[in-house]
């Protein structure tokens, strides 16, 4: 394995193998060994979880980490372009973990770099390692990833984590996927065209809440709106309420890639369905296993 640009760079069997390796990392049966390797974390957009969990994963495997968390501290602020920045980073590191606001930037970087590039989020396009964490959580909770009923609630137009999740689900034959959003934030047609499972679009999660095994919530991606007025129109257009979750099956799960803003009532955090912090806790073992797969064979 080299670059990780889209979740569809993985076959189903590669996903399952990665999850088995993650199980072994979590249980302590396997410890990734990346001594002598250097990971570059190139974050042109803000991040807490992705940047720091990749850093923690790399450090705990014995690798060294360098990088930046904003382009303001780099020569991009002097006008250097992405291509030249990538050419420099591959002189300094064995693997580049990159987040950038431009759709397609990860693929562009991978075409330039001879070293592996891992997409940590490219614009509104994809966030493949987040989808791996999300599906790993589903597998841990349900013991299967097949035949489940999913609901995706929120900004389905701009949330890259949703695109990667909808794509990974093409490997696992969900029973039904409900896409729940205000009309302005519906999933984009080019994603819907790829899906090989039953999908229904609706606007009110309460209509199907009792059917769901997994409810995946996203915040409104304010940073993707070109027009602030458009954001103002939709910013409070959905919210998951305590009373709605009371109607969920007790063994169902609410996931969220985080960060959350106001789209989940905080009282839900203590309900049995709230699994988003558990989900976040799998980031380091999963990204440790992934870094091992990407770099250990070099």
Binding site for ligand CP (CB under 6 A): 47-50, 121, 127, 130, 257-259
How far apart are alpha carbons 207 and 203 in whole angstroms? 9
Q: Specify the residue, 149 or 152, whose C-beta has the smaller distance to ligand CP.
A: 152
> Which residue number, 85 or 218, has a Cβ lying nearer to ligand CP?
218
User: How far is it, in rounded angstroms, from Cα 164 to Cα 162?
Assistant: 5
Between residues 57 and 209, which has the closer beta carbon with respect to ligand CP? 57
How far is Cα 125 from Cα 103, in angstroms, rounded to an integer? 5
Strand, coil or helix: 117: strand
38-43 and 199-202 as β-strands: parallel, antiparallel, unpaired?
unpaired
C-alpha–C-alpha distance, residues 25 and 27, integer Å: 6
Shortest distance, CB of residue 282 to ligand CP, whole angstroms?
12
For the CB of residue 259, give the shortest distance to ligand CP in the complex, in Å: 6
183 SS3 class: helix
Q: Which stretches of the chain are DSSP H helices?
A: 12-27, 49-60, 82-92, 105-112, 128-142, 160-168, 189-192, 228-234, 242-245, 276-281, 283-295
SS3 196: coil
Nearest to 133 by CA among 20, 287, 25: 287
Nearest approach in angstroms of CB 50 to ligand CP is: 3
Give whichever of 121 and 154 is closer to ligand CP, judged by the CB atom.
121
Residues ≥6 apart with Cβ < 8 Å to 156: 162, 179, 181, 185, 186, 187, 218
Q: How far apart are CA 59 and CA 288, in angstroms?
A: 9
State which residue, 150 or 276, has the beta carbon closest to ligand CP.
276
Nearer to ligand CP, 69 or 237 (CB): 69
Least CB distance to ligand CP at residue 132 (A): 12
At closest approach, how far in Å is the CB of 48 from ligand CP?
4
In the complex, the smallest distance separating the C-beta of residue 127 from ligand CP, rounded to whole angstroms, is: 6
Judged by beta carbon, residue 130 or residue 181, the one nearer ligand CP is 130
CB of 99 to ligand CP, least distance (A): 7
Q: Which is nearer to ligand CP, 32 or 121 (CB)?
A: 121
Question: CB of 160: closest distance to ligand CP in angstroms?
Answer: 9
Indicate if the alpha-carbon torsion angle 139, 142, 145, 149 is positive or negative. negative
């Amino acid at each position: 394995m080299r670059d990780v640009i889209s979740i569809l760079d993985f076959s189903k069997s590669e996903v399952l193998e990665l999850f088995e390796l993650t199980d072994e990392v979590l249980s302590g049966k396997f410890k990734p060994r990346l001594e002598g390797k250097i990971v570059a974390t190139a974050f042109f957009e803000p991040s807490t979880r992705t940047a720091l969990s990749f850093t923690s994963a790399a450090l705990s495997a014995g690798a060294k980490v360098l990088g930046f968390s904003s382009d303001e501290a780099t020569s991009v602020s002097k006008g250097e372009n992405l291509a030249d920045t990538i050419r420099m980073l591959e002189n300094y590191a064995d693997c580049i973990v990159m987040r950038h606001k431009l759709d397609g930037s990860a693929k562009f970087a991978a075409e330039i770099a001879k070293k592996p590039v891992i997409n940590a989020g490219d614009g509104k396009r994809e966030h493949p390692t987040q989808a791996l964490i999300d599906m790993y959580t589903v597998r841990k909770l349900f013991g299967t990833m097949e035949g489940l009923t999913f609901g995706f609630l929120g900004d389905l137009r701009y949330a890259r984590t949703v695109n990667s999740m909808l794509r990974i689900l093409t490997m696992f034959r969900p029973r039904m996927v409900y896409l729940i959003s205000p009309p302005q934030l519906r999933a984009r047609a080019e994603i819907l065209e790829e899906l090989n499972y039953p999908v229904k679009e609706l606007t009110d999660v309460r209509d199907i809440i009792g059917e769901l095994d997994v409810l995946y919530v996203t915040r409104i991606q304010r940073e993707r709106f070109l027009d602030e007025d458009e954001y103002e129109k939709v910013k409070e257009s959905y919210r998951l309420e305590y009373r709605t979750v009371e109607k969920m099956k007790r063994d169902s799960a609410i996931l969220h890639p985080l960060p959350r803003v106001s789209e989940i009532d905080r009282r839900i955090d203590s309900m049995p369905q709230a699994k988003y912090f558990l989900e976040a806790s799998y980031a380091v073992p999963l990204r440790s296993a992934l870094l091992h797969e990407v770099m250990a064979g070099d």
